[in-house]
A and B are shown apart, each in its own frame.
Chain A
Amino acid sequence: MSLDRSIAPDFGKIDSIELMEPKVLHLDNGLPVFTINTGEQEVLKVELVFATGASASDKKLVAAATAELLTEGTQKHTAEEIANALDFYGAYFNSHVSHDESSLELFTLNKHLKDTICTMAEVYSQPTFPEHELETFILKGQQDMMVNEQKVSYLAAKAFSGTLFGNEHPYGRTATQSDYAALTQQDLREFHASAFAGQIQHIIVAGKLTDDTIAVLNSAFGQEKRLSNALDPIVIHASQERIVHVQKDDAVQNAIRIGRLLFDRTHPDFVGMQILCTVLGGYFGSRLMANIREDKGYTYGIGAGLVSLKHIGYLSISTEVGTQICKPALDEIYLEIGKLRKELIPTDELELVRNYMLGTILKSVDGPFSLASKWKTYLKHGLGTDDHYQLLHQIRTITPERLRDLANKYLQQEDLIQVTSGKPF
């Protein structure tokens, strides 16, 4: 029997994607611990989540510097001793500061949890922010910034957030050389006291838990007094400018950012816009990729996506193209957006996007660390298992008409901000 290779084999639809719920336990002081006990490897990730991010400080860079320098010296140990204590066990820290949230992660083999967790508890609660380490941070930050300023993608991203939110707004402001120079030990100590000390909102622990994992966490974090610092939602004062170009005369490519403010993840149009963005530029076969890369060869890559902050979100389309084809590339981007407003998405294309998105979600809940990051996001936005199933339902059932309506409501060209960086065009 000969094989007909032109006929695709049958495939099944992804009918259900279970989202494993974390088990919630409480330490002696009431601190919630979300445990995701799964996976084959003998590893653990412990993440301390704090409800305060960069937007809570009226001085730029303070939050980032505080998080970064947590591990650079405590009352008991120098930065070098701390680094050695972790590296010896092959463990490491990651600190993150976003606009609305901060966190400290510990990655360790589970057999070394006891040896490394005490270092984590110490750096989180008793950092001293030594002068020498702060100075190194400042000098390094300033010089790294000089390198970044040679990149059109960096220049465009900076101008884009300034234009979206306003240059003075906590979400839109970006640091300058002098902001680095203005940092003091006092700033960091104050920020630590108001945002970190005693203010773990919850702990997420993922990996292969052992019998004593919780007891170990309890002795490290369950005895301290818990404080809480609620923050006010933020008011946006977006800039009036819509089209911005940042000049860089020696550029070989121009960077392009197009987008607009939208809404947070709990908005009723959020999932619809996420699907629409996927059609436009959210996967390899998307319309922007098909047109601008695969048909015209203008770029190595182009993408569109929604970014979710705690109280608001935005659309961002980004690419880098040869300087001489910047204008035609922009025209094609607007042409593709226009098509979404005018024409219905064909059912077979929509079917493909539905299945692709479900496949992506299936992958995003596979394995302990993926699940941990999914739940971190869900907890931040106040979402739960119901929202997960609601998302699956909407992906399966949304109609081309509804997507066209959303495009008309949110993707009018005059509402979109356009930032470019590179040569004039």
Chain B
Amino acid sequence: MGKIDFERFELKNGLKVFVHHDTSTPLACLNIMYDVGSRDENAERTGFAHLFEHLMFGGSVNIPSYDSPLQLAGGQNNAFTSTDITNYYITLPAQNLETAFWLESDRMLNLAFTEKSLEVQRSVVIEEFRQRYLNQPYGDAWLLMRPLAFRTHPYNWATIGKEEKHIADATMQDVKAFFNTHYLPKNAVMVVAGNVTTEVVRQLAEKWFEPIVKGEKPVRDLPKEPKQTEPRRLEVERPVPLDAIYVSFHMCGKEDADYQTWDLLSDILSHGDSSRLKQRLVKKDRIFTSVNAFVMGERDPSLFTIAGHVSQDRTVEQAEKAIWQMIEELRTELISELELEKVKNQVEASHEFSEMNLLNRAIGLAYHELLGDANGVNLETEKYRKVTREGLRRVASENLIESNSNTLVYRKQQ
């Protein structure tokens, strides 16, 4: 299967740079991943990493508009924030690569903070909060589940923030402090991918990024989540047409040896039409109209979740019982060799499809470098190949238990 080749070097200020050549495309991607996410926020000032991502488009110290010069050079850009990382990317014609270096280096150097930009982006993010979380049926599920499942670890809140008020209250002082702490060369990984050469990338990186002051990588010392010992439950009434149920279990972090086993457990339950939840609970028994199992893919110990919309003529109790029945099978029975081979093949194919995209390859390298080794991206499929039937049963039987469960129920308002 395809391997992502790369070369690497490090600038004097500690910025790590990776180059991935692909001469089949006329394009280049410049991807910068900062090692900061909503888990690094103060519990009283949540939603900040994401609000900050918006502010990064408000112009930098020497360049009043970030977007216009890029669009003029035929480029596109965007960014996303998660609990663990903030990632910025540009795609543009390879010949115009320097424009991307110019723009990204200036906003790592310093932002042009204005009150107007802060005020507008606070409103934009509040509208985003409403559009995606409040004005959608079941949109607040993670705003409810995270605090239920996490008592001390900052995965307690969603990336968008705990509440609108935290965003509305963000001050200029907060913004500047956040930038000075986290937006440093040593706290970032840059990947340049596409029709580029290492010589050119090195030259451009030295020219545009090396003058940026080094700074100190912030020390992360997050509180550990204590082991859950009792089942937790939250029931809410909402104007939703169907009842819904979410059951989340604490699981290991992304770098743990059991991570791939957990991920395959979710695939056995719900990857593809042949998966157990689809075949049994949606099609055969029609207990759910839709139901899925998934892992969050977070770095620190996180959640494994089964969630679904309950059919009109079924009760939450029947649905819950059906979920636990599926879990019981995973805990007590060995899955067949054939089913294991199937989910491994699915992982291999998904990986290959995803890597058709140049940007996905760049993001994969950057993310794995944050985990410790960019080449990890090339070893992923192999790790999944090593998962065993016994391992699946062990992880399920040790962890998919009541005392480790967090259950969120939406009941339709009468």
Contact = CB atoms under 8 A, between A and B. Distances in A.
Interface of A: 3, 5-6, 8-14, 38-43, 71, 79-80, 82-84, 86-92, 107-109, 133, 136, 139-140, 143-144, 146-147, 149-152, 250-253, 283-285, 293-300, 320-322, 351-353, 355-356, 358-360, 362-363, 366-369
A355 B74 contact: yes
Contact of B342 (A88, A136, A144, A146): A88
A366 B207 CA distance: 30
A246 to B, nearest CB: 14
Given A5-B109, A42-B2, A355-B72, A109 B349 contact: yes
B286 A253 contact: no
A133 B241 CA distance: 23
Contacts of A300: 124-125, 127-128, 131-132
B99 A89 contact: no
B356 interface: yes
Interface in B51-84: 61-63, 65, 67-69, 71-77
A369 B77 CA distance: 21
B272 A87 contact: yes
Contacts of B65: 285
Given A88-B338, A151-B135, A359-B93, 20 more contacts: A9-B99, A38-B24, A80-B274, A83-B273, A84-B274, A88-B342, A91-B349, A92-B272, A133-B283, A139-B286, A143-B311, A146-B241, A147-B240, A147-B242, A284-B67, A285-B67, A300-B127, A321-B127, A356-B72, A362-B26
Contacts of A147: 137, 240-242, 309
Interface in B133-177: 134-137
B52 to A, nearest CB: 16
Interface stretch (B8-16, B30-38, B115-123): B115-123
Contact of B123 (A8, A253, A298, A356): A298
A360 B76 contact: yes
Interface in B299-333: 309, 311-312
A141 to B, nearest CB: 9
B271 interface: yes
Contact of A297 (B73, B127, B283, B347): B127
A298 B105 CA distance: 30
Given A147-B137, A363-B27, A41 B355 contact: yes
Given A39-B24, A150-B240, A297 B72 contact: no
Nearest to B100: A9
B263 interface: no
Contact of A87 (B76, B137, B273, B353): B273
A8 B102 contact: yes
Contacts of A42: 1-2, 352
B120 A11 contact: no
Contacts of A151: 135-137
Contact of B349 (A39, A89, A143): A89
Contacts of A83: 272-274, 278-279
B41 interface: no
B404 interface: no
Contact of A369 (B25, B120, B356): B356
Interface residues of B, number: 85
Nearest first, the 9 A-B pairs at minimum CB distance are A90-B349, A297-B123, A359-B74, A146-B241, A83-B274, A83-B273, A5-B62, A300-B128, A9-B98
A358 B135 CA distance: 36
Contacts of A356: 71-72, 74, 76
Nearest to B342: A88
B391 interface: no
B190 interface: no
B346 A90 contact: yes
Which of A143, A152, A251 has the most B CB atoms < 10 Å from its CB? Answer: A143
A192 B342 CA distance: 31
B95 interface: yes
B106 interface: yes
A282 to B, nearest CB: 11
Which of B124, B131, B282 has the most A CB atoms < 10 Å from its CB? Answer: B131
B98 A11 contact: yes
B127 A41 contact: no
A250 B346 contact: no
A5 B309 contact: no
Nearest to A80: B279
Contact of B241 (A84, A149, A352): A149
A367 B25 contact: yes
Contacts of A91: 349
A42 B355 CA distance: 10
A196 B282 CA distance: 27
Contact of A285 (B71, B99, B109, B122): B71
B341 interface: yes
A290 B204 CA distance: 31
A6 B63 contact: yes
Contact of A6 (B26, B62, B137): B62
23 contacts: A6-B62, A8-B69, A11-B73, A40-B24, A41-B355, A41-B356, A80-B279, A84-B274, A86-B272, A89-B345, A109-B349, A143-B289, A147-B137, A150-B239, A253-B127, A296-B123, A297-B123, A299-B127, A300-B124, A300-B125, A351-B72, A355-B74, A366-B26
B224 interface: no
A353 B71 CA distance: 7
Contact of A90 (B282, B311, B345, B356): B345
Contacts of B128: 300
B114 interface: no
B130 interface: yes
A39 B130 contact: no
Interface string B270-290: 011111001100110010011
Given A87-B274, A146-B241, A253-B130, A5 B106 contact: yes
A5 B345 contact: no
B350 interface: yes
Contacts of A362: 26-27, 74, 93
Nearest to B208: A3
A80 B339 CA distance: 13
Nearest to A5: B62
B22 interface: yes
A283 B77 CA distance: 11
B144 to A, nearest CB: 17
